[in-house]
């Protein structure tokens, strides 16, 4: 996340697709090699930044696609194809869960699992953005999910450390609910996480977003006019 803005700034737009393709293809290869040949590779494949860069770069691909008039028109004209691909990815995720491959320390997850899930969420996002009438888009527009989406970064950032600190302070063991006391500790952690995420949005993220919106970026007006 820290390096990506500089990459986008310095890499020529004409070369960006090639860079994205190389990173997306390299990530599962690196994860597989770590899993097979490094003693703690199954955890390194889950944690290390280069190993998970495929998901981040797929997000960049989505941003480029929807901001490009050609890409946006392609999504609109080929909705059926987008839905078919999304359906295939959904079946794959469901099947992997059924086979218990969705665990971090499995070869299936370390090799292609993370990339498959990233593609699944990529196409879910594309469906939601390009097809307002789709049931997925309607679900994602519900007020509760929109509200959670606003503070999603804070939820992601704080959930693990806050949960761990609460269990360490009140229960003396790792987060693993087994009784009423653990359940109450989890509930307390959930409330604290929500509060911290809201504070992060109100006093840090929102001002940064407003600052970013003060600038006009090349291609923005063309992309918006193409969508209309």
Of 99, 114, 141, the position where a domain reaches its end is 141
Q: Are 117 and 90 in contact (CB under 8 A)?
A: no
Percentage of the chain beyond pLDDT 70 is 95
For 21: left if phi > 0, alpha if psi spans -120 to 50, otherwise beta; the answer is: alpha
Domain shared by 125 and 190, yes or no = no
What is the value of pTM for the model shown? 0.81
Domain shared by 115 and 153, yes or no = no
Taking the alpha carbons at both ends of the chain, their separation in whole angstroms is 31
- Which string of DSSP letters, residue by residue, matches 117-175? HHHHHHHHHHHHHH-TTSHHHHHHTSHHHHHHHHTHHHHHHHHHHHHHHHHHHHTSS-S
Does residue 227 lie in a domain region? no
Does residue 221 lie in a domain region? no
Query: What does the pLDDT read at residue 161?
Result: 95
Does residue 226 lie in a domain region? no
Domain shared by 126 and 185, yes or no = no
Q: Are 166 and 192 in contact (CB under 8 A)?
A: yes
Q: Could you list the residue range(s) of the whole structural domain that residue 191 is in?
A: 142-215
Of 141, 169, 187, the position where a domain reaches its end is 141
Domain shared by 114 and 71, yes or no = yes
Could you give the number of structural domains in the chain?
2
Domain shared by 135 and 183, yes or no = no
Domain shared by 56 and 167, yes or no = no
Does residue 24 lie in a domain region? yes
Angstrom distances, CA of residue 140 to CA of 132, 143, 144 = 10, 8, 9
pLDDT in tens, 204-214: 999 999 988 88
Closest CA to 57 of 131, 96, 3: 3
Residue 21 host element (H or E): helix 16-37
Does residue 199 lie in a domain region? yes
Domain shared by 105 and 14, yes or no = yes
Query: What does the pLDDT read at residue 159?
Result: 94
Of 109, 141, 173, the position where a domain reaches its end is 141
Q: Give the contacts of 155 (CB within 8 A, at least 6 positions apart).
A: 148, 193, 194, 197
Domain shared by 204 and 152, yes or no = yes
Q: How many CB atoms lie within 10 A of CB 12?
A: 7
pLDDT in tens, 117-159: 999 999 999 999 999 999 999 999 999 999 999 999 999 999 9
Q: Which two tokens stand for residue 75?
A: 């999504």
Domain shared by 198 and 105, yes or no = no
Helix axes 220-227, 53-67, angle to 10 degrees: 70
Domain shared by 13 and 82, yes or no = yes
Closest CA to 200 of 149, 158, 148: 158
pLDDT band, very low/low/confident/very high, at 2 (cuts 50, 70, 90): confident
Does residue 127 lie in a domain region? yes
Domain shared by 127 and 161, yes or no = no
């Amino acid at each position: 996340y820290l390096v990506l803005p500089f990459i986008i700034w310095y890499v020529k737009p004409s070369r960006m697709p090639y860079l994205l393709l190389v990173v997306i293809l390299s990530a599962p290869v690196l994860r597989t090699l770590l899993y097979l040949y490094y003693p703690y590779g199954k955890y390194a494949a889950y944690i290390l930044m280069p190993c998970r860069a495929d998901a981040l770069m797929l997000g960049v691909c989505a941003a480029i696609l929807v901001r490009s008039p050609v890409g946006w028109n392609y999504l609109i004209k080929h909705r059926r194809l987008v839905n078919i691909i999304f359906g295939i990815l959904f079946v794959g995720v469901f099947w992997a869960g059924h086979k218990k491959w969705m665990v971090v320390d499995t070869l299936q997850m370390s090799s292609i699992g993370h990339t498959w899930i990233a593609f699944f969420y990529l196409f879910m996002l594309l469906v939601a953005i390009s097809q307002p009438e789709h049931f997925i888009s309607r679900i994602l527009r519900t007020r509760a999910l929109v509200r959670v989406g606003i503070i999603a970064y804070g939820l992601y950032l704080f959930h693990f450390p806050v949960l761990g600190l609460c269990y360490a302070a009140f229960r003396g063991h790792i987060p693993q609910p087994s009784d009423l006391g653990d359940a109450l500790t989890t509930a307390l952690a959930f409330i604290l996480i929500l509060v911290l995420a809201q504070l992060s949005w109100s006093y840090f993220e929102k001002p940064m977003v407003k600052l970013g919106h003060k600038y006009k970026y090349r291609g923005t007006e063309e992309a918006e006019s193409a969508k209309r």
